[in-house]
Amino acid sequence: MIKEVLIDEPKRVARPLLIVVAAALIDADGRVMVQQRPEGKSMAGLWEFAGGKVEVGELPEAALVRELREELGIETEASCLAPAAFASEALGDKHLLLLLYVLRKWSGVPSALHASALKWVRPVELHALDMPPADRPLIGLLEALI
């Protein structure tokens, strides 16, 4: 019975959940923007989607609008963020829930305000990039959407 399965389930999340929101910016040519994690941070040098942690009391989309302003200097609205895919992955002593949105409409020109570099790539080229483990399963999902 479902009730028994729930009660006996020993694999409840034992680690704190880390909820991270990220955006795949898509340009008019269908290219995707990724940014490179800077030296001094965990996973330095890896390519990831712009975004960051959802703060306590913050809505995910509001967190992402804030992160995109802070990291890229662009403005967008929650209504422009299309939910695309998610990843669920252990990350150190936490469990990462990474919510990926697709974004096609923003104002301003993205700049690497926090990252060491930005680049625009074809979705298929993402497979060849060094990305965090949580991002790998998102690549195929993104390819299907763009």
Give dist(CA 66, CA 126) in Å, integer.
Answer: 25
- Choice from 32, 68, 84, 98 touching ligand 8GT (CB under 6 A): 98
CB of 38 to ligand 8GT, least distance (A): 9
**For the range 61-66, what are the long-range contacts, defined as Cβ-Cβ under 8 Å and sequence gap of 24 or more?**
61/21, 61/101, 63/21, 64/21, 64/22, 64/23, 64/101
CB of 77 to ligand 8GT, least distance (A): 19
Q: Which residues of 60-93 are buried (b: 16+ CB within 10 A; e: fewer)?
A: bbebbbbbbeebbebebeeebbeebbbbebebee
Task: State which residue, 10 or 84, has the beta carbon closest to ligand 8GT.
Answer: 84
CB of 98 to ligand 8GT, least distance (A): 5
Q: Judged by CB under 6 A, which stretch of 1-9, 41-49, 74-82, 103-111 contacts ligand 8GT?
A: 41-49
Q: Judged by CB under 6 A, which stretch of 5-13, 25-33, 39-47, 116-124 contacts ligand 8GT?
A: 39-47
Give dist(CA 100, CA 85) in Å, integer.
Answer: 5
Contact between 54 and ligand 8GT by CB under 6 A: the answer reads: no
First to last CA, the chain: 41
H/E element, 65? helix 60-72
Task: State which residue, 52 or 137, has the beta carbon closest to ligand 8GT.
Answer: 52
Q: Which residues bind ligand 8GT (CB under 6 A)?
A: 20, 22, 41-43, 48-49, 51-53, 91, 96, 98, 132, 134-135
